[in-house]
Structure 1
């Protein structure tokens, strides 16, 4: 695993630089184990926002990780 994100944060980047770093990579497949109630709620929230479950999860992760630049 690369230390790219950790090294980036040490440089005190702005939010735009962090977001650019996070979205500029290859797609990978992963398995995520969460309670069924959390999954159902996330799917419903994603639908309310007009997006799929995977897009919703990526958006949530991106929002949380981009806060480091603030």
Structure 2
């Protein structure tokens, strides 16, 4: 399976990038961020009706999918 770097060099559509980013097994990640950032993100996630983890994944996908534009 090609990696993300290989994928974006092929000039894929945003849909293709998003599909690539959401496939595969889930893994645990430890992320060290300031309390204020975590608290603000948790509040924003709650306002959107999603979990903190879903909010972080969504933000990452949005940023990485920009490469296809």
Aligned length: 69
Gaps of 5+ in 2: none
RMSD over aligned CA atoms reads 1.2
Offset from partner CA, 1:4-53 (integer Å, 9 cap, x none): 10000010101000000000111000000000000000000000000000
TM-score, structure 1 as length reference? 0.95
Match of 2:4? 5
Task: Please give the residue correspondences for 1:1-70 in structure 2 after superposition, counting only pairs within 5 Å.
Answer: 4-70=3-69
Gaps of 5+ in 1: none
Deviation at 1:3, TM superposition (A): 6.0
